[in-house]
Amino acid sequence: MKTTNLYSVFFLLLLTFSSGLLFSCGGTDQKEATESNETDSVTVETETVVEIVNPSEEYQTFVSALDTTKMSSSKQAAEKFQELYASATPEQADEGFLIFDKLYTSLAYNLDEQHYKNGEQSGQYDKYDQIAGIYNGYNDGKDASPEIMAYHKELASHGFGIGMVEGSTFILQNRDFLKEYFYDKISEPLQKYLVQKNKEAKEMFASDGGLIISPTRLAERIIWAENFIKENPDFYSELMDELKGSKKIYLTYLLEGMDNTPLFDYQTKEITQDFQEAYQTVTSSYSDTETAAIIKPYYEAIKNKNTKKQEELMAKYQAEGKIYKNEY
């Protein structure tokens, strides 16, 4: 609190220009001056207002000017994020991440297009097989040449990597990249979402017409998504839509199985042990979830060999938009 004595200021001015007059005053005048001084004292309270400027407009302008065909753009955008959002609120940082994420998605798509065209032109479709899956953890790259490993490191330093599906390599997002530049700035819900997405991207879930992870692990992903959606109903719509889409795909395959990971054994026509375990986990460990409410009657119909009930439930879940309709 800052105190300003207005009378004292006036007193000093008079002292400067009329010292003789003031010093001729007697004791009575001094007493009156003192009383007047106390009366005229004014207390002025001041507040320091810190203005928090949202840097998203500047960041959007910067990101929009970057080349979406060059991998270097991701690192430029990430470094600019750290610069502009150093003192930002988590909510503002979330805005910045969403701007970055659109660029990141475009870059992955464009780089993959280039990757495919380069393979066509050179005829070397297997050139990057030795570094495919390093991000996913099923390849250590020890058989790759120094040249190819250098390319892997360059990709990783900009948030990308090489994956493989059905014998063909492609460019993927190496989402470990996001930890360094974004995790300490963004909100807790967004960080949880990105951590889970990175985990799922590394594990993948299906390839070559079959599940890579167990049906139980697939069920746990569905439960995680259900809980996250319930806890964060106002989460960013573009990411929420993506999460709901993944959850719908997972639930579809949990109920139907896949060609190379069938729900029913091709020989015995009985539900496989892996799917039994998944259904039992959901109905016992997560009995109060929406997912359990979907699985329980379906599992009962399977155990009772009630094919008609199974079909009715599947049609119901499809009509309600809970799972996708199998077009095959």
Write the pLDDT tens digit of every residue in 269-301: 999 999 999 999 999 999 999 999 999 999 999
Give mean pLDDT, residues 97-104. 98
The per-residue pLDDT for 120 is: 86
pLDDT of 36 above 50: no
Q: How confident is the model at residue 69 (pLDDT cuts 50, 70, 90)?
A: very high
Neighbours of 193 (CB within 10 A): 21
What is the pLDDT at residue 225? 98
Share of the chain above pLDDT 70, in %: 84
pLDDT, tens digit, 9 for 90 and up, residues 127-180: 899 999 999 998 999 999 999 999 999 999 999 999 998 889 999 999 999 999
Radius of gyration for the chain, computed over Cα atoms and rounded to the nearest angstrom: 33
Across the range 71-79, mean pLDDT stands at 98
pLDDT of 231 higher than 80: yes
What is the pTM assigned to this prediction? 0.82
Confidence (pLDDT) at 251? 98
Please tell me the predicted confidence (pLDDT) of residue 25: 39
pLDDT at 28 > cutoff 60: no
**C-alpha closest to that of 135 among 108, 153, 162, 97:** 162
Q: Where are the alpha helices (DSSP H) in 66-211?
A: 72-84, 90-122, 146-157, 177-181, 188-203
Q: What is the pLDDT of residues 40-56, one digit of tens each?
A: 545 555 565 556 679 99
Strands (E), the chain: 2-4, 42-44, 160-165, 168-173, 206-207, 210-211, 257-258, 261-262
Q: What is the pLDDT of residue 122?
A: 84
185, with CB counted inside 10 A (0-12, 13-18, 19+), is: buried
